[in-house]
Amino acid sequence: MTQCLLPCRSQYAFRSKMYSVPEVNSMPDDRFVWVFGNVIELCEDAAVWVKKKRPFNRLADLCTEFHKYLDNLSVEEKLVILKSHPDLAGRLAVLGELTKESTEEQKSAGLDKINAEQKSIINACNERYKLKFGFPFIICARENKVQSIIDGLNSRILNSRDQEIETGINEVKKICKLRILDIVNEN
């Protein structure tokens, strides 16, 4: 069963070195898990699974294997993945307890600069969303700004739980791909 690393949210940091695909293929297993252990938020199990799929011919193949990992999970395991994500502009962000990746992603959407009214709206929508679906609202923050996030919260609340599990996992895939692109270059 998928287990996410819930206790320590700041254990991972953006890796400053960009790796090539051949370097990824030749990494020791423990290094691979460390480098890719947070491309799916706090879920080293994904990296453990994907490391066994090496060698990769291209960067796209690496991304595909992480996506396959998500696709192969049971609904219960997908819920573990979804529940490991922090609320957007939530308590952990205020306390500075997000992973480095999540912090940068939320900043890129402008969530670190929201006014009191926007914060109130986002927090209320987040709570309503979690109450209905049982997991936090997930959207690829790097592909959005504050207003589109608020719009997404307001429109997706109308979906069914099954639709939101699928949508949430698809957003996790987008986040995962962008995190991989922060780590690996095509050359």
Looking at the annotation, which residues are catalytic? Answer: 85
CA angle 93, 91, 157 (to 5 degrees): 100
Which amino acid appears at position 103 of this protein? T
Task: Supply 102's token pair.
Answer: 């999540």
Cis peptide bond prior to 7, omega within 30° of 0: no
Task: Supply 132's token pair.
Answer: 């209905």
Q: Which helix (H) or strand (E) holds 62?
A: helix 59-71
Question: Cα-atom radius of gyration of the chain, to the nearest Å?
Answer: 16
Longest dimension (CA), the chain: 50
The per-residue b/e assignment along 98-107, b for 16 or more CB within 10 angstroms, e otherwise, is: bbebbbbbbe
The total of other beta-carbon atoms located within 10 Å of residue 187's CB is 9
